A and B are shown apart, each in its own frame.
Chain A
């Protein structure tokens, strides 16, 4: 029955079966080659001057393949090139927008330097880091250091920095203290805290010649807890003011003492108040 039906079907379809062998075992049936030569499709034309890499064009020497193999290795877990780069752009308010990409350094620590102040940051799992930094010097130079030999840098000129008063403290050791500012309503100040350990504190005030005179009280404060009550702090201070040379010094703050646990440790005279005189 089945042989008969196969023969009928074969006759109807002019189908000539042929056996395909794999390791001597009949495996499948395949169609015969067409009897009529079909016209080939038109291939796209390669533009002049455009080289298409052909495997056959590769040199036979295996050593010359190393660069290609190396470039294949310099790809992150996300398939992105390991190329490391940092860009710095100026944005409104004399801020530096910093974008750092090191895809093959997931969660790596990096030390960011600007205007002689340093703070530590950590890249994301994808090896990316983006933040905005109040500029502290007009060339807007930012460095990112992974190691003493591996440093990225970029810069962007900050044209309107002369309109700003800024006070920055980069805490290097001990328990960092925060800048506390008490400003009248007409003197808005902002305070940025940067770094994975919150070690860079920058107070910023935009000078306005039409501004009414006033005083912004500045103090340093931190909550005293059992872990850090015996710890002081050490840092670098940079103050920039319109029409005046930058002021730079080291600041060491004594430990509050463990009798003050639970209280706020406040230093009102460690920083000079910001005074805006009448123009």
Chain B
């Protein structure tokens, strides 16, 4: 059927290649869109088609020189990935694969990495640093192969992409987490106020709190600095800091397109407060977020890995639903390797390596739980928790939910990471218990049931993803302790969101 359709391709169509199957039975004419060293992508009257180079011969002026193929890829999107992280990962990938590297810098937003072996150039990776929206726009316009983004595509972008065929954006999740960052408020090192609530932060950037004395400091006017509008980071700050408190826009004395400039300005001026990310905090100091019940959350490697910090910001690569050149696929695989984790940490971001922490590190959390024992969180349940977990260590891999039982993007990545670790035998001979926790809203019985359901769901997803793991060698179970061990205050939405989680404890 396909053969018949393809043979009917009109010769009048503007074509520069003619691909013929080895037996001569099929001939496809069209305009060559790309050749990735293995596959041809050709624009035909039926739309773009991808054909295995092994199965066809190419004729026509557009045919590539098969022996001189150079893989080309363009990354476009947020500067929070494009400025530092991706260049460092490309360099490390090249070193590991013994490619020599030439970096051509056009300007601060555009550069190209040329990877060569002893014989010739093998790949050219072009980088365009701008914003998440620009990244998706370039992907839709076929001006980029991979988008560097801080969020999934929004409704408008999906709609725009749907008008092209095939759509470069898919409704199923195609963004994969490259590294973690955290949205933070920052101050100069000599600013005595070190923490504030999320609501206070929101009010500062609404102009409702104007003096440091309203935050427990001295009587000095607050100078608020923020990233510019129409950037992914601005959108993230708006949706996670401003909007939860029912307000519409983010106001600042000054906006800085370059996050480094913003951090430097904050570090110089003790009266300033800035919004940014942990990776770009520079010589300023991140503020802790506090809740009314006394919990304080600090953005750190551990709290971002475990998503115990409420404003974790996953940095993602969005790949279109089409075949990518081999070397690019190899690069994407490299970004999940331990070598890449080291680069991510060295460049000031947080990797997703699975680490373990002892029961004793619960510290304040356990003390808080003991202090808040109640009918809803009875002592007997807390004692069972201690009995179950005291000889185990907690994995940094933690699962949180967007709503109901739908995992958030970082947790989806955690499923893949944990499954990979299980498949490689890292936990053979050990016992893993998936422990569900809930927030404290509502009666404890249903809360505990929901927590157990979530734990079982995560366990099922991990089992499914770890298809080749030997579960005869690994003991797995699901358990739940409801609301007895909160991470954050239940009187605020982000606190309840942190409390609804599935942790993994290992023995």
Is A184 in the interface zone, CB < 8 Å from B? Answer: yes
Task: Judge whether A272 and B87 touch: CB under 8 Å.
Answer: yes
Is A270 in the interface zone, CB < 8 Å from B? Answer: yes
**CA of A59 to CA of B267, assembled, Å:** 83
Is A192 in the interface zone, CB < 8 Å from B? Answer: no
Is A57 in the interface zone, CB < 8 Å from B? Answer: no
| In the complex, chain A residues whose CB is within 8 Å of the CB of B83 | 269
Is B282 in the interface zone, CB < 8 Å from A? Answer: yes
Task: Judge whether B87 and A254 touch: CB under 8 Å.
Answer: no
Task: Judge whether A267 and B84 touch: CB under 8 Å.
Answer: no
Task: Judge whether B105 and A273 touch: CB under 8 Å.
Answer: no
| In the complex, chain B residues whose CB is within 8 Å of the CB of A247 | 91, 95
**CA of A182 to CA of B258, assembled, Å:** 15
Task: Judge whether B264 and A249 touch: CB under 8 Å.
Answer: no
B248 → chain A closest CB, angstroms: 33
Is B213 in the interface zone, CB < 8 Å from A? Answer: no
Main secondary structure of the interface of B (DSSP, over half): mixed
A6 → chain B closest CB, angstroms: 100
B346 → chain A closest CB, angstroms: 7
> In chain B, residues 303-348, which have Cβ atoms closer than 8 Å to a Cβ of chain A?
346-348
Task: Judge whether A267 and B107 touch: CB under 8 Å.
Answer: yes
Is B88 in the interface zone, CB < 8 Å from A? Answer: yes
Is B108 in the interface zone, CB < 8 Å from A? Answer: yes
Is A197 in the interface zone, CB < 8 Å from B? Answer: no
Task: Judge whether B260 and A251 touch: CB under 8 Å.
Answer: no
Task: Judge whether B264 and A182 touch: CB under 8 Å.
Answer: yes
Task: Judge whether A253 and B100 touch: CB under 8 Å.
Answer: no
Task: Judge whether B101 and A250 touch: CB under 8 Å.
Answer: yes
Is B424 in the interface zone, CB < 8 Å from A? Answer: no
Task: Find the A residue at minimum CB distance from B94.
Answer: A249
**CA of A185 to CA of B77, assembled, Å:** 34
Is A217 in the interface zone, CB < 8 Å from B? Answer: yes
| In the complex, chain A residues whose CB is within 8 Å of the CB of B100 | 249-250
Task: Find the A residue at minimum CB distance from B342.
Answer: A244
- What 0/1 readout, one digit per residue, does chain B (92-124) give for beta carbons within 8 Å of chain A? 001100001111111111010000000000000
A254 with B348: in contact, given A217-B282, A269-B129 (CB under 8 Å)? no
A240 → chain B closest CB, angstroms: 13
Task: Judge whether A215 and B84 touch: CB under 8 Å.
Answer: no
Q: How large is the interface on A (under 10, 10 to 19, 20 to 34, 35 or more residues)?
A: 20 to 34
> In chain A, residues 248-279, which have Cβ atoms closer than 8 Å to a Cβ of chain B?
249-254, 267-270, 272-273, 275, 277
Option from A184, A270, A272, A277 in Cβ contact (under 8 Å) with B105: A270
Option from B95, B102, B106, B282 in Cβ contact (under 8 Å) with A254: B106
A275 with B348: in contact, given A249-B102, A250-B101, A252-B103 (CB under 8 Å)? yes
Is A174 in the interface zone, CB < 8 Å from B? Answer: no
**CA of A277 to CA of B88, assembled, Å:** 17
| In the complex, chain A residues whose CB is within 8 Å of the CB of B302 | none
Option from B101, B108, B260, B264 in Cβ contact (under 8 Å) with A267: B108
| In the complex, chain B residues whose CB is within 8 Å of the CB of A249 | 91, 94, 100-103
**CA of A214 to CA of B264, assembled, Å:** 11
A215 with B282: in contact, given A249-B91, A250-B100, A273-B84 (CB under 8 Å)? yes
Is A148 in the interface zone, CB < 8 Å from B? Answer: no
Task: Judge whether A268 and B283 touch: CB under 8 Å.
Answer: no
| In the complex, chain A residues whose CB is within 8 Å of the CB of B129 | 269
Main secondary structure of the interface of A (DSSP, over half): strand
Task: Judge whether A252 and B264 touch: CB under 8 Å.
Answer: no
Task: Judge whether A215 and B283 touch: CB under 8 Å.
Answer: yes
Is A245 in the interface zone, CB < 8 Å from B? Answer: yes
Task: Judge whether B105 and A252 touch: CB under 8 Å.
Answer: yes
> In chain A, residues 212-264, which have Cβ atoms closer than 8 Å to a Cβ of chain B?
214-215, 217, 244-245, 247, 249-254
B347 → chain A closest CB, angstroms: 7
| In the complex, chain B residues whose CB is within 8 Å of the CB of A269 | 83-84, 105, 108-109, 111, 129
**CA of A251 to CA of B84, assembled, Å:** 16
- What 0/1 readout, one digit per residue, does chain B (273-313) give for beta carbons within 8 Å of chain A? 00000000011000000000000000000000000000000
Task: Find the A residue at minimum CB distance from B300.
Answer: A278
- What 0/1 readout, one digit per residue, does chain A (190-226) give for beta carbons within 8 Å of chain B? 0000000000000000000000001101000000000
| In the complex, chain A residues whose CB is within 8 Å of the CB of B108 | 267-270
| In the complex, chain A residues whose CB is within 8 Å of the CB of B103 | 249-252, 270
**CA of A217 to CA of B281, assembled, Å:** 12
Task: Judge whether B347 and A275 touch: CB under 8 Å.
Answer: yes
**CA of A245 to CA of B88, assembled, Å:** 13
Task: Judge whether B264 and A217 touch: CB under 8 Å.
Answer: yes
> In chain A, residues 59-90, which have Cβ atoms closer than 8 Å to a Cβ of chain B?
none
| In the complex, chain A residues whose CB is within 8 Å of the CB of B104 | 252, 254
Task: Judge whether A272 and B101 touch: CB under 8 Å.
Answer: no
Task: Judge whether B348 and A251 touch: CB under 8 Å.
Answer: no
> In chain B, residues 233-277, which have Cβ atoms closer than 8 Å to a Cβ of chain A?
258, 260, 264, 267
B145 → chain A closest CB, angstroms: 21
| In the complex, chain B residues whose CB is within 8 Å of the CB of A267 | 105, 107-108
**CA of A132 to CA of B108, assembled, Å:** 33
| In the complex, chain B residues whose CB is within 8 Å of the CB of A252 | 102-105
**CA of A254 to CA of B112, assembled, Å:** 11
- Could you pull out 23 A-B pairs where Cβ atoms are within 8 angstroms? A184-B283, A214-B283, A215-B282, A217-B264, A244-B346, A249-B102, A249-B103, A250-B100, A250-B102, A251-B102, A251-B105, A252-B105, A268-B108, A268-B258, A268-B260, A269-B84, A269-B105, A269-B108, A270-B103, A270-B111, A272-B84, A273-B84, A275-B347
Known A267-B105, A269-B105; further 17 A-B contacts with Cβ < 8 A: A214-B283, A215-B282, A217-B264, A217-B282, A245-B95, A247-B95, A249-B102, A251-B102, A251-B105, A254-B104, A254-B105, A254-B106, A254-B107, A268-B258, A270-B111, A272-B84, A277-B348
The 3 A-B pairs of least Cβ separation, nearest first, read A250-B102, A249-B101, A252-B104
* B interface list, Cβ under 8 A from A: 83-84, 87-88, 91, 94-95, 100-109, 111, 129, 258, 260, 264, 267, 282-283, 346-348
